[in-house]
Structure 1
Amino acid sequence: MMTVAACGSVSALTLGLPKTTAVPARKGILPKQMFYARVPISSRLKRHFTDQVDSIAMLGLVRPANTGVADGSHCHEILVLGVRINGAEVPEDVLAFIASRRSGGIVFVVVRDSDGDGKAHAEECILAVCRKAPGRVGHVAETKLYMGEWGPAGDVRLTMHGPTLDEAWDSFCAQAVLGVEDGADLDARILRRDRIVTLRTQVAKLERDHARAKAPAQRNEIYAKLHKARRQLDELQA
Structure 2
Amino acid sequence: MTAASCGTLTALTLGLPAGTAIAEEKGTLPKQMFYAKRPISSKLKQRFTNDLESVTMLALLRAANTGLADGAATHEILLMGLKVSCEEVPVELVDYISHMRNCGIIFVCCRTRATEEGGRVEECALAVRRPLPTKPGYEKRFRVYVGPWRPVAQTTLELKGQNMDEAWDSLNAQVILDSSDGADLDARIARRSEIAGLVVQEAKLAKDHSRAKDPAQRNEIYSKLHKVRNQLRQMGALD
Which category describes the TM-score, using the shorter chain as reference length?
over 0.9
Within a 5 Å distance, the mapping from 1:1-238 to structure 2 comes to: 2-116=1-115, 118=117, 120-134=119-133, 140-237=139-236
The offset of 1:217, in angstroms, is 1.3
Structure 1: any 5+ residue segments left out of the alignment? none
Secondary structure in 2 matching 1:214: coil
CA distance 1:135–1:211, shift in 2 (3 Å): farther
Runs of 4+ in 1 over 3 A off after TM superposition: 116-121, 134-141
Count of residue correspondences: 237
The offset of 1:135, in angstroms, is 5.6
- Per-residue CA deviation, residues 86-139 of structure 1 (Å, 9 max, x unaligned), is 031221101100000000000000000132464744201011100012367875
CA distance 1:184–1:8, shift in 2 (3 Å): same
Native 8 Å contact 1:134 1:188 kept in 2: no
Native 8 Å contact 2:89 2:125 kept in 1: no
Of 138-147 and 105-114, deviating more is 138-147
What letter corresponds to residue 162 of structure 2 in structure 1?
Answer: P
CA distance 1:66–1:171, shift in 2 (3 Å): same
1:203 and 1:121 map into 2 onto residues whose CA distance is 39
What letter corresponds to residue 186 of structure 1 in structure 2?
Answer: L
Structure-1-length-normalised TM-score: 0.95
Of 177-186 and 139-148, deviating more is 139-148
Native 8 Å contact 1:134 1:191 kept in 2: no
1:84 and 1:30 map into 2 onto residues whose CA distance is 12
The offset of 1:219, in angstroms, is 0.9
Aligned-pair identity (%): 51
The offset of 1:188, in angstroms, is 0.6
What letter corresponds to residue 145 of structure 2 in structure 1?
Answer: Y
CA distance 1:203–1:135, shift in 2 (3 Å): farther
2:175 and 2:200 map into 1 onto residues whose CA distance is 23
What letter corresponds to residue 61 of structure 1 in structure 2?
Answer: L
CA distance 1:144–1:115, shift in 2 (3 Å): same
Secondary structure in 2 matching 1:13: helix
1:136 and 1:213 map into 2 onto residues whose CA distance is 42
What letter corresponds to residue 223 of structure 2 in structure 1?
Answer: A
TM-align CA RMSD: 1.5
1:10 and 1:117 map into 2 onto residues whose CA distance is 23
Secondary structure in 1 matching 2:128: strand
The offset of 1:183, in angstroms, is 0.5
The offset of 1:201, in angstroms, is 0.5
What letter corresponds to residue 232 of structure 1 in structure 2?
Answer: Q
